[in-house]
Structure 1
């Protein structure tokens, strides 16, 4: 009989990988960049310059200007940002404006985005820059079909009623 090799000994590749994993230190967080700009640079950037680096759909939406509802939302954002800078925890900003583009000044603020039925709580992170608010509050529920009811199909005529 041939002797079978064991791969779990001290010299095996698997044990060496385990040892290497133990030696690795804590992971460092990579600084966030959006299209080559850091978050600090984005926050200092004028809105016209920011419009140039966002995707075309968002740029077109921003170029049209803001509606009165969006203007009200901007005022709420500025007020919440002032509170956050003072060290106070800002209240959730509730809005129906799902078509508002997320700008760098909105990062870190809590939002309640209306999905047609209720307000979905969202805390915006850096990766959300340049997207719409509505993307974070789905307005449609996923349908899970069950068994068909009486009269749903022609074949249901022959299904016994319980």
Structure 2
């Protein structure tokens, strides 16, 4: 039996297909506030590094070591 990953009643596939605004509406208030205010330069750098690693691994899961704590896990 395969475990279905859900977040607040939405499956992983549904969450991945959502727009950023729809996804933000699912989050708790602290995370909503952080995302609506935008990203700082270190956060943007971190996100770009994760995207580069995912492209290099062709979309597979990646493990990233970072000093940037408090990122939303993806």
User: Do the two structures share a fold, i.e. TM-score over 0.5?
Assistant: yes
Residue 73 (1) aligns with residue 60 (2): no
| Secondary structure of the corresponding residue to residue 48 of structure 1 | helix
* Unmatched tracts of structure 2, length 5 or more: none
In the superposition, the TM-score normalised over structure 1's length comes to: 0.40
Which gives a bigger RCO, structure 1 or 2 (Cα 8 Å, sep 6+)? 2
Q: How many residues align?
A: 74
Unaligned 5+ segments in structure 1 are 1-27, 107-162
Ranges of 4+ aligned residues in structure 1 off by more than 3 Å: none
C-alpha RMSD of matched pairs (Å): 2.1
Which structure has the bigger radius of gyration?
Answer: 1
TM-score normalised over the length of structure 2: 0.79
The structure with the greater share of residues assigned to strand is 1
Q: How many angstroms apart in 2 are the aligned matches of 1:44 and 1:61? A: 21
